[in-house]
Amino acid sequence: QVQLVESGGGLVQAGGSLRLSCAASGRTFSSFDMGWFRQAPGKEREFVAATAWSRVTTAYSGSVKGRFTISRDTAKNTLYLQMNSLKSEDTAVYYCAARDRGPPQSIATMRTYDFWGQGTQVTVSS
């Protein structure tokens, strides 16, 4: 079992930046693949970014690639999402998720993640 707690969300103007954090506790953080997903009002939850336990595999959705960066600090048991050049369409609740080591080709697949945080709201004003 692993517990995930997100923080760092808030209100920001378009073009601005935010850094989300996800603090993990429970089982060994370094053994999990970790990801960020988001859900906008009236829309389904979607993949944003993920990083494998080995850090060899990192994936981004096309809509955030080049603007967002996912990283993890094993010593702090924390996952990060640096979000730059934010757009109004980035407004959503952002969720941190974890899964046991899995095949790289499915790292962006939401149903393969077993553990979820409660989410943090990001609002981008235009």
Q: What is the pLDDT of residues 25-60, one digit of tens each?
A: 987 778 899 999 999 999 999 999 999 988 788 999
Phi, psi of 47 (to 5 degrees): -70, 140
Q: Which residues share a beta bridge with 2?
A: 26
**Amino acid type, 107:** I
pLDDT at 1 (0 to 100): 82
Identify the top-confidence range among 1-5, 26-30, 91-95: 91-95
What is the C-alpha to C-alpha distance for residues 9 and 121, in angstroms, rounded to an integer? 5
pLDDT at 38 (0 to 100): 98
